[in-house]
Amino acid sequence: MTGTIGFVGLGAMGRGMADSLLRAGHVVRVWNRSPEPVAALAARGAEPAGTLAEVFAADTVVSMLADDETVERLVLDRALLAGAAATLHVNMATVSLALAGRAEAAHAEHGIGYVAAPVLGRPPVAAAGQLNILAAGEPALLARAEPLFAAMGQRTWHFGDRPRQANTAKIGANFLLACAIESMAEACSLAEANGVRPTDLIELLTATLFPGPVYTGYGAMVAERRYEPAGFRLPLGLKDVGLALDAGAASTVPLPFGGVLRDAFLDALAHGDGDKDWAAVAAVARRRAGLPD
């Protein structure tokens, strides 16, 4: 792929992703609502953009934004799309299936190719260019985006020719992550209430039944009650559980654990844990068990 890459959204994940594109030799034009990340990437060779219109003057746009409301307000603006020179937009945010459908239709209306490519990985993984990328869209558009995926990720997983299929896979993956965190929190609370150190339990589980990054990484955070710094903030976890519940309701797929997770995340927010990692939902299981703070 040649030409300039526009990048929208330089949060904890987007900064590392844009930097990976720079390291791979792409010309990257960056925009963010706050100026500090733009200045930091400009010092590394990125082109700062003063407006979103400047970003959408690039050949291809990549966006990594927080939620439906932000995506809709910033990059689905009809005037922006109508004036865009870009012919491909790769949306890497985790968004609802309803928003995915609206985004696909809005881009088609303005003759802009649209691909969904949400990711698995925390900020250090993004900074290392080792994300797993869940992609869906027209095959020709996916082939065009592949050099970008190769720069940002270790593997690209293809889920179909409709963008919403990638969003479905990502919502399912994040729902399962939330279930894993909750189940570890409950098991650790049970262990602690009966005189077993949670760290010992997690060491056993990750060495035997549940090896891998999820149980090892989040298990240690839960057992050690280590919720800061936040790699993925708790309100975003609540948002993703809500996306799963909405998708289930729309397709008549019951998700009974979803209601438990939603209420646990709300409980954590009510107790002031909104700036902590979503692993802080484990504190709710401890309170339910009457364990000390």
* d(C-alpha 137, C-alpha 116), whole Å: 7
Residue 293's pLDDT band (boundaries 50, 70, 90)?
confident
Q: Count how many Cα atoms sit within 13 Å of the Cα of residue 109 in the half-sphere of its side chain.
A: 14
Residue with tokens 């082109």: 47
pLDDT value at position 1?
Answer: 43
Using one digit for the tens of pLDDT, what is the confidence trace for 201-218? 999 999 999 999 999 999
Please confirm, yes or no, whether 276 is among the known catalytic residues: no
* d(C-alpha 139, C-alpha 143), whole Å: 6
Using one digit for the tens of pLDDT, what is the confidence trace for 68-104? 999 999 999 999 999 999 999 999 999 999 999 999 9
> How many of the other CB atoms lie within 10 Å of CB of 116?
29
Using one digit for the tens of pLDDT, what is the confidence trace for 260-280? 999 999 999 999 999 999 999
DSSP letters along 109-130, please? HTT-EEEE--EE--HHHHHTT-
Residue with tokens 């844009």: 18
Task: Quote the distance between the C-alpha of residue 90 and its chain's center.
Answer: 14
Catalytic residue among 29, 89, 144, 170: 170
What is the overall mean pLDDT for the chain? 97
What residue ranges define each of the domains in the chain, with the CATH number in brackets? 4-161 (3.40.50.720), 167-288 (1.10.1040.10)
Residue 198 has pLDDT above 70, yes or no: yes
Q: What is the mean pLDDT of residues 12-33?
A: 98
Residue 57 has pLDDT above 60, yes or no: yes
Q: Identify the H or E element spanning 250.
A: helix 234-250
Can you read off the two tokens belonging to residue 140?
């020709």
Residue 2 has pLDDT above 80, yes or no: no
Q: Angle at the Cα of 48 (from 46 to 50), degrees rounded to 5?
A: 165
Query: Which amino acid would we find at residue 117?
Result: A
